[in-house]
Amino acid sequence: MQPLALTMGDPAGIGGELSLRAWLALRQTGVTFVALDDPARLQRLAAAMGLAVPVRVVGNAAESGLVFHSALPVLPVTLAVDALPGKPDGLNAKAVVASIEQATKLALAGDVGGVVTNPINKAALYQAGFAYPGHTEFLAALTGATGQQIMMLASPMLRVVPVTVHASLRDSIAMLTTDMIVAAARTTAAALRRDFGIAAPRLAIAGLNPHAGEQGALGTEETTIVQPAIDTLRAEGIDVSGPWPPDTMFTAAARARYDVAICMYHDQALIPLKTLDMDHGVNVTLGLPIVRTSPDHGTAFDIAGKGVADATSLLAAIELASALAASRAAARTTL
């Protein structure tokens, strides 16, 4: 199995510590990965945290499998200035971006099975001229999949896809269209078949308003926007249900009736996912030619450098990326 590429994330956040802890957890029998990071930073961080993690610079991704059992393999990405825990520095933005770019190139070239991204700080990147809303949009541009990217949050208990993502609630409602719902559902259904091995995926479409509009008494978007999307998807042979009342569709009994919830806006999707299973939640980008996952949390500047960061979500992201890569590889061999 090919190694995965693990990006730096914001060097002032907890990403580096998580990378070190992930290697400790996986070094004997787990998934192998190569870190796209500053080796000197990782060495200093390991020493400060009291973590026995030897760091070894490698010349290419293939070497990482040979050394992973004894040292954390690193493809160097040099920081402009030393990173201070909890204090992001725009001078290091280029290195953060370069880590993502190099990991993506490795995946496109087939040198790694997929990319796992540590959390970035968007504000620090914006100050340095970063032109994308976040990881998802940047990866779409790097891979030529612009306009097709969809964010899924997945855990063993629930999968959710928000149709509108990084926008205010007011703007999300204003921008929501039937075509957006249809596009998100199509991409999701295809990904569930190819990457998750679900032959006949079941999609639950959330309503926008309380009680899914209650026949227009609490809003008309279910009739004018959501239902036409459901009708289109059903005509294409996709198994969809809805519009579901958002306040009841995430109960245990309801979740048993679908494989993914297509939600209308960010918090409608992420609040139930994070409430049910924050530790094992994984961000998966659908609609890309490469596998990409990420832990379902941010940079956690408030605890950076304190030695208390929990690597559970990153480990879940690594394990899921490996499984998705294996599924894609198996699909290619059967074509």
Q: Give the residue numbers spanning the domain of 73.
A: 1-147+288-335
For residues 215 and 152, give the distance between their C-alpha atoms in angstroms, rounded to a whole number. 29
CATH number, domain with residue 47? 3.40.718.10
Are residues 229 and 123 both part of a single domain? no
Are residues 267 and 246 both part of a single domain? yes
Are residues 56 and 127 both part of a single domain? yes
- Using a 10 angstrom Cβ sphere, with 0-12 exposed, 13-18 middle and 19 or more buried, the burial of residue 198 is middle
Are residues 250 and 124 both part of a single domain? no
Are residues 198 and 319 both part of a single domain? no
pLDDT in tens, 272-295: 999 999 889 999 999 999 999 999
Are residues 161 and 261 both part of a single domain? yes
When pLDDT is cut at 50, 70 and 90, the band that residue 333 belongs to is low
Are residues 17 and 141 both part of a single domain? yes
Are residues 72 and 205 both part of a single domain? no
> What total number of domains does the chain contain?
2
For residues 164 and 276, give the distance between their C-alpha atoms in angstroms, rounded to a whole number. 21
Are residues 133 and 273 both part of a single domain? no
Contacts of 332 (CB under 8 A, 6+ apart): none
Are residues 169 and 143 both part of a single domain? no
Are residues 142 and 156 both part of a single domain? no
Are residues 1 and 132 both part of a single domain? yes
Residue 33, SS3?
strand
- Which of 231, 254, 279 is the endpoint of a domain? 279
pLDDT in tens, 214-272: 888 888 999 999 999 999 999 999 999 999 999 999 999 999 999 999 999 999 999 99
Place of tokens 């999949």: 145
Q: What is the pLDDT of residue 136?
A: 83
Q: Count Cα atoms within 13 angstroms, Cβ side, for 325.
A: 27
Q: 215 — alpha (psi -120 to 50), left (phi > 0) or beta?
A: left
Q: What number is the average pLDDT over the span 292-309? A: 93
The model's pTM: 0.92
When pLDDT is cut at 50, 70 and 90, the band that residue 62 belongs to is very high
Cα four-point dihedral sign 24, 28, 29, 34: positive
